[in-house]
Chains A and B, each alone.
Chain A
Amino acid sequence: MFRSRSWFGGPWGGRPKNRLSLEHLKYLYSILEKNTTVSESNRGLLVESLRCIAEILIWGDQHDSLVFDFFLEKNMLSYFLHIMRQKSGGSSFVCVQLLQTLNILFENIRNETSLYYLLSNNHVNSIMVHKFDFSDEDVMGYYILFLKTLSLKLNTHTIHFFYNEHTNDFPLYTEAIKFFNHPESMVRIAVRTISLNVYKVQNPSMLRFIRDKTAAPYFSNLVWFIGKHILELDTCVRTDIDHQSNQKLSNLVAEHLDHLHYLSDILLLEIKDLNAVLTEHLLHKLFVPLYIFSLTPAPPPPSLAVVTQNLAAVLNRNVDIDIQEMHNPRVSSIVALFLLSLVFLVVSHAPLVHALAWVILNGDHSVFKEGAAEILNSYVEHREVVVPGFGEPNESLEQALDTVTGQSSSSSYALSEDSGVESSSPATTELDSQADAVEAEQIKLRNITDEEKQLLQKSSSSTKADFAEMAKPFLDTVLHALDCTENDYLALLSLCLIYAMSHNRGIKNEWFEQFLAKSTRGAFSYKTALIEHLLNIITQSSQPSSRIRLITVEIALELLVTFTRPSSDDSRCITVAQQDLLFSARNQSMVVLRNFYRSEDIFLDLFEDEYNEMRKAQLNVEFLCMDSTILLPPTGTPLTGINFTRRLPCGEVEKARRAIRVYFLLRRTCQKFLNEKESLLPLTNVVNLVQVENVLDLNNSDLIACTVVAKDSSKQRRFLVIDALQLILVEPDAKLLGWGVAKFVGFLQDVEVQGDKDDSRCLHITVHRGGVTHNRTPLLSAKFLFDDHIRCMAAKQRLTKGRSKARQKKMYQIAQLIEIPGQMDSPVYAVGGTMVASSSGGSGNSSGSSSRSSHHRPMFSTANRVPGFAAVLRGSNSAGVSRTQMAPNRSIEGIRNESAGRSRRRSPSSTSGSNLTADHSDRERSPSVSMGSHSSSQSRENSQPRSTGNRSRESSPRMPRPRSEEIPLEDFQHSRNNSPHSRGNPSPASRSQTPIRVLHYDQLSGHSGSPREASLGGTNALLSQLNGLAREVPPTQSSEETSFIGSDGNEPTGGSEGRRRGAIETV
C-alpha cells in the first residue's frame, strides 16, 4: 500500500489533489500512455492506476459526464487490452486488477449511453476471448463474474454488442459455457446463470445461432457430464451399504439435483427449438440409455462372460458373447428408480416428461434398438391417439432432430473455430475430448442395444404370446419393485416414481388415467394391479414387526387415495373387496397397537406426540427425494441420523411409536373412504381449553389461595383452580365478584408435585410441556405457598388425583379409540372404531345421536362436593342440573364439538342453535349433513309453540337429568375415569345409547352457550331441542338456558350479564 503512494509521489509528480476528478483521470491516462510495456518496475504503478480509473469512472458516471467522454475519446479500453496481452511481468497480478476494474465499471455504471459506448467497439469481446491464466482462482473468479455481469446487461438492444450475426460470433456465451464442468462450484453456477441469461433474451437470430451451432455440443457434453456424475453416485450407493460415506452421497445427490433444476430452468424458458434439442439429448443420451436401460434385468456378470470368451479363444471357437454389452454402463435399479423420480419431480416440460412416462409405461426393448427418432415417433403417434390436441407440433421436434444430428459433429468443432480459440487451451481440449467421448459412448450404446435386442428376440423365441408378456418390461420392473416381501428398499423408490409421475404437471392426468385403465393380460387393468400392490404394502405394514418404513406406508396410502379418489362418489374406483382389505389393515394395525397399550405414562405421551407429529408433517415427496439416505438399504439404527419415518423402528418405544403412527395413517385414510371427519382426535380439543386471560365464573368452584414464588423469587398471589384437564391459576376479576381471570394454564397430566421437607405449607409444582420430543424446559416451575397445612395437602391431593384422572381419562379415550375389548360398553365399542358403526349421513337423528353422548367429570369437580352447591342443584332443579351436566359434556363431548366448545367460552357470536346442530351432526357422525345452516335462520315464533310441548317431555321421568343429579358426580366420574378397569359401567357417565341422554346433552350444550340466550329468557330452546326440532331453533331461543341460570338468581340481569354467565359456565 505504501508503495503505491510513493509511486504517485515519485517521478511523475503533478498528481492532482482531487482523487475524483477529470484531471486525475487525465493524469492516469498519461501514466498508461507512458507505460505501454508492463515490466517488473512499473507493475505496481499500473495496477494502482487501473484501480483509480475504476473509481473515477464510476464517480464520473454518477457526477460528471465529462469523465466518461474523456475515457471513450482516448479509447482507454484499448490500453487495457494491450496490457492484458503482454505475457511479461507477472500478468495475473495486473490481470486481476484489470478484471476487477472492468467488473466495477460494468456493474456500477448507471448511465445507459455510457454503457452503450463502452460496448460499442469490440474491445469487450476481445477481452472475453483473451486466454487469461485461469489456474489462478482469483483471475477465474473475476473473469467469470465479469461475464456474468455482462450477461445481466443483456437485452434485445445490447445483444447486438455481444452477438455478431455476420461472423456468428458470440464469445460471451461460447466462452462461458466452456467452464460448465469447472471444478469450482461457484464458477459452474456462474456459467449456468450466464447461459440462462443468454437464453432469456428474445432474439431469434441469436437463438438460432445457439441452437444450430452450440446446442448440440453443449447439451451433449452437459448430459455426459451429468451421466458421469450419476455413475459416480451409483458407485457410491453400491459401495456404501453401511451408511458410512453419507456425506459424499448426499453431496452427489444435491449436485445432481442442481443439474436437474438447471435443465428444468432452461426448459421453463419455453424456447421451442432449444427445448427440442435439449429434450432430444436428455431422452436419448441419458434417460433412455442409462436410466431406462438400468430397469432391465442385469446381464450375467462380466467376469463370467470374459471367462467364456477367453475359453472360446483358447478353444479357437466362435462364441457369440459381446463383451461390450457387459460393459454397457448401467446403474442399479434403486438408483434408476430414484433418478427417474427426480426427473418427474423437478422437470415439467411436457414433451420430455410425457415421452419419458410413455417409455416407462409402454416401451419395450425396441427403445434401445431404434434409438432417438423411433422413440419420438412412437411418442408422437401415441400422443395423437391418446391425447388429441396436445400442444407441441411434432414437425418441430422432427426437424430439430434432423438438424442437430446432421450438425452435431461439426458444430462442436465450429464452437472452437468460431470463438477463435486454439484447441491448445485446456478448457477447449477438454470440451472436445469430452465431445469425442460422448460420441464414442453413443456408438457403443448403439451397438450394444442392437445386440441386446437381438438377444432378446432370440430368447423370447418370438411367439406372440411371449412377446406380449415382455411388452412392457420397464413397467413390470416398476411394479415388481413394489413387492415388499423382504423389505421396502425398492418399493419406496418405486412408489416415489409412481407418485412423481402421477403428480407431474407436464403429464396430462387423463392420459395417465387412461393408460392405467387399460387392461393388460386378462381382465386386470394396470390400475387394478397397482391398487392391489398398494393394498399389499398397506396390509403388510399393519402386521406386527413389519419391515416397511412409515414413509413407505404414507406414500402408499397417499397413492391409494390418488388413484381411487374416495372423495368423489361417482368416479370412485375401488371395489368393495379392496376397501375391505384396507379396513382390515386398519383393524389389524389397531390390534398391533393394542399390544402396546400400557398404563405407563409414556404411552399417552407417545400417543399424543405421534398425533401432533403426523399432523405437522405433510407428505412431501420432493423433499423426501432430496434425502440421499433412501438410496441405501433400510436400516433401523437411529445412529445413522436418519429421520424416524425413513427407517425402521429401533427398540420398544420406537415400535410403539410406529404402531401408533401406522394406526393413525390408516385411520385417516379409512376416514377418507368413509367420508368421515376425524371426531375423536386429538384427545384434547384445544378449543375447549381455558386460555390465559379468559374470564371465568368461579362461584361455587373450589379455590385454593396460594402465593406462587417463581425461581427468581418474585411472588404472586393467585388462586389455584383444578379443572378436569387443566391446572389454572387465576387472579380475581376486578369488576365482577366471584369471577377470575386465568393467568396461567397448564395440563394436569403434565404436572409434577413435590412436598417441601421444611415447610408443610409449601409445594413445589412443575408443569412440563406436553409431548415426548419437545422442548424440555417446563412451562412453570415454582414454589406454591398455601395459607395452612390443610390447604396445602388438599391442593397436593387434588393435583395428584387430577393428574392421574386426566391421564386415565385420556387412556380411556384411547382404549375406546382402539377398541380395547372390555374397556367400554358395547354401544360405545361401535363408536370407538371409527367406521364400523358408521352409516351414511342418512341415518336418523335418533340412532345417530345416541351413539356419542357421554359424560365426564365436570369441570370443577370440586364444586360438586360443596354441600351447599349440591343443595342448590337439587333445589333449583334445572339450573343446577344444567351446570353439573354441562361440565361433563365439556370434557368429552365438548372435545368433539368445536363450535359448542367455543360458545361455552366467551364467544358472543356463536349461537346456541348452532351448538345444538353441531352436536347433532357430531353425534350422527355424518359430516355430510350440514347443520350449521339450520341454526340461525329460523324464526323464534316457530319454535316457541313447540317448546311448550317439549316441556312436558322434559319433565318426564325418563329424563336422565335427575339421575345425574342424584349420583354423586365425583363417584361416577371416578368410575368412568377408571374405566379401563371398570368395564361396562352403566352409570350415566358412560356413553349411553339412549336418545334421551342425547337430548339431554343437547340441552346442556345449548345451555352452556351463548350470549343472546340470556336476554331472551324463554325456556323454549331446550324444549324444542328435546322435541327434536332443535335445528330449527333460532339462536336467540337458547335463552332457555338463561332461565336456568336465572334460577340461580341471575334472571333479572340484563343481556350482558346473562351472556357472561353463559360464557363462564364453560369453565
Chain B
Amino acid sequence: MSYAYLFKYIIIGDTGVGKSCLLLQFTDKRFQPVHDLTIGVEFGARMITIDGKQIKLQIWDTAGQEAFRSITRSYYRGAAGALLVYDITRRETFNHLTTWLEDARQHSNSNMVIMLIGNKSDLDSRREVKKEEGEAFAREHGLVFMETSARTAANVEEAFINTAKEIYEKIQEGVFDINNEVRKKHFPWELLAITLLSRY
C-alpha cells in the first residue's frame, strides 16, 4: 500500500491506563469492544486520509521503557506525535502527567504533537478526575485534550486522527521537515520519514 506520509506515534502514560487497548481499538476495528474482555497490543498501523492524502499511522506502545534511560530518550525522539494517556478513575495517573510531560518535552523535539487523553470515560461512576481538570491541564500546557473510552470506542478514532491532522498542518506550515530519505535499495518502505525541524 502506498502512502504520502508515515507518522509515527508513541503512547505514553502510567501502566494500566489502557494504552495498548486504545491502540488496538484504533488500529484494528475487527476487535469489537466487548464488556468483559480487555485486549491490547503494543504495535499497530492504520491508513487514514487527510486532505485527500493517504497517511499511514504507525503506533508504538512504549511499554518496558521505564527501566532504561536510553530507551526512553530514543522513543520520544523517533515520534511525530504522542498520546499522553491517564485514567479518569485513578487520580494518581493524572497526577503523574507532569512528570510524563517533562520527560516528553525534555527528550522529544519541541514540535512533537502531544494529545492528552483521559481514558475510560465509560466508567463515569468511578470517575476521580473531572473533565474540567483535564481540560485545564491541557490548556495550561498547550495540549489538545479529549476523553476517550477504549471499551466503547468513544472518541478513539478522533483522538488519533486529530493528532494526525495537527501534524499534517504543521507539515503544511513547514514547521516539520519532511525528510525524503529514499532507501529503496533495501528498505522500500522507508520512503518518507518525518523528522522535526526545530523552529527558529
Chain A residues within 8 Å of B, Cβ to Cβ: 1, 4, 19-20, 48, 51, 54-55, 58-59, 62-63, 100, 103-104, 107-108, 135-138, 141-142, 145, 148-149, 151-152, 183-186, 188-189, 192-193, 196-197, 200, 246-247, 250-251, 254, 257-258, 261-262, 264-265, 426, 639-641
Contact = CB atoms under 8 A, between A and B. Distances in A.
B4 interface: no
Contacts of A141: 43, 45, 58, 60
B45 A103 contact: no
- Which of A62, A63, A100, A246 has the largest number of chain B CB atoms within 10 A? A100
B74 A183 contact: no
B20 interface: yes
Contacts of A108: 38-40
Contacts of B190: 183-184
A261 B189 contact: no
B62 to A, nearest CB: 9
A98 B33 CA distance: 20
A193 B60 contact: no
The 8 lowest CB-CB distance pairs between A and B, nearest first, are A261-B70, A641-B200, A145-B43, A262-B70, A137-B189, A185-B78, A265-B68, A189-B74
Given A108-B38, A145-B43, A183-B186, A258 B68 contact: no
Given A192-B70, A261-B69, A261-B70, A186 B39 contact: no
Contacts of A59: 34, 36-37
B68 A196 contact: yes
A626 to B, nearest CB: 10
Contacts of B200: 639-641
Contacts of B63: 152
Contacts of A247: 177, 179, 195, 197-198
A352 to B, nearest CB: 16
A20 B42 contact: no
B64 A193 contact: yes
Interface string B22-57: 001000111100101111111101000000000000
B183 interface: yes
Nearest to B183: A183
- Which of B39, B74, B200 has the largest number of chain A CB atoms within 10 A? B74
A100 B183 CA distance: 27
Contacts of A184: 187, 190
B137 interface: no
Interface in B92-117: none
Contact of B39 (A55, A145, A183, A251): A55
A55 B37 contact: yes
Given A1-B30, A247-B197, A183 B187 contact: yes
21 contacts: A1-B30, A48-B30, A51-B31, A58-B38, A62-B37, A104-B24, A107-B42, A108-B39, A135-B186, A135-B187, A137-B189, A145-B60, A151-B64, A185-B74, A186-B60, A196-B68, A251-B195, A262-B70, A262-B74, A265-B70, A640-B200
Contacts of B60: 141, 145, 186
B77 interface: yes
B73 A257 contact: yes
Contacts of B71: 189, 192-193, 196, 262, 265
A855 to B, nearest CB: 45
Contacts of A641: 198-200
B162 interface: no
A640 B65 CA distance: 34
Interface in B151-200: 177, 179, 183, 186-190, 195, 197-200
B174 to A, nearest CB: 12
Given A103-B43, A183-B187, 18 more contacts: A62-B36, A104-B41, A108-B40, A135-B186, A138-B45, A183-B183, A184-B187, A185-B77, A186-B78, A188-B74, A192-B71, A193-B64, A193-B71, A196-B67, A196-B68, A258-B73, A261-B70, A265-B70
Contacts of A107: 20, 40-42
A250 B198 contact: yes
Q: Is the interface of B mostly helix, strand, loop or mixed?
A: loop
Given A148-B64, A149-B42, A189 B187 contact: no
B120 interface: no
Nearest to B196: A247
A63 B37 CA distance: 9
A103 B41 contact: yes
A561 B186 CA distance: 53
A104 B61 CA distance: 13
- Which of B40, B71, B197 has the largest number of chain A CB atoms within 10 A? B71
A197 B34 CA distance: 33
Contacts of B28: 100
B38 to A, nearest CB: 7
A142 B34 CA distance: 24
A748 B68 CA distance: 52
A198 to B, nearest CB: 12
A59 B37 CA distance: 6
Given A107-B40, A186-B60, A193-B64, A258 B74 contact: yes
B136 to A, nearest CB: 19
A58 B77 CA distance: 33
A426 B187 CA distance: 11
A108 B42 CA distance: 10
Nearest to B60: A186
Contact of A189 (B41, B78, B183, B186): B78
A647 B76 CA distance: 28
A833 to B, nearest CB: 40
- Which of B39, B73, B177, B189 has the largest number of chain A CB atoms within 10 A? B39
Nearest to B58: A141
A192 B198 contact: no
B189 A258 contact: no
Contacts of B34: 19-20, 55, 59
Contacts of B188: 135
B5 interface: no
B51 to A, nearest CB: 23
Nearest to B27: A100
A145 B187 CA distance: 19
Contacts of A148: 42, 64
B30 A51 contact: yes
A261 B58 CA distance: 25
A189 B73 CA distance: 10
Contacts of A261: 69-70, 73-74
Contacts of B74: 185, 188-189, 192, 258, 261-262
B8 A186 contact: yes
A274 to B, nearest CB: 15
Contacts of A48: 30
Contacts of A183: 183, 186-187, 190
Given A108-B39, A196-B71, A258-B77, A426 B195 contact: no
A853 B5 CA distance: 69
A192 B195 CA distance: 21
Contacts of B30: 1, 4, 48, 51
Contacts of B29: 1
Contacts of A100: 28, 41
B78 to A, nearest CB: 4
Nearest to B36: A63
Interface in B110-140: none
B44 to A, nearest CB: 8
Contacts of A200: 67
B70 A55 contact: no
Contacts of B64: 148, 151-152, 193, 197
A791 to B, nearest CB: 41
A151 B112 CA distance: 29
Contacts of B186: 135, 183, 426
Nearest to B200: A641
Nearest to B43: A145
Contact of B69 (A55, A138, A186, A265): A265
Nearest to B106: A623
A63 B36 CA distance: 9
A246 B200 CA distance: 11
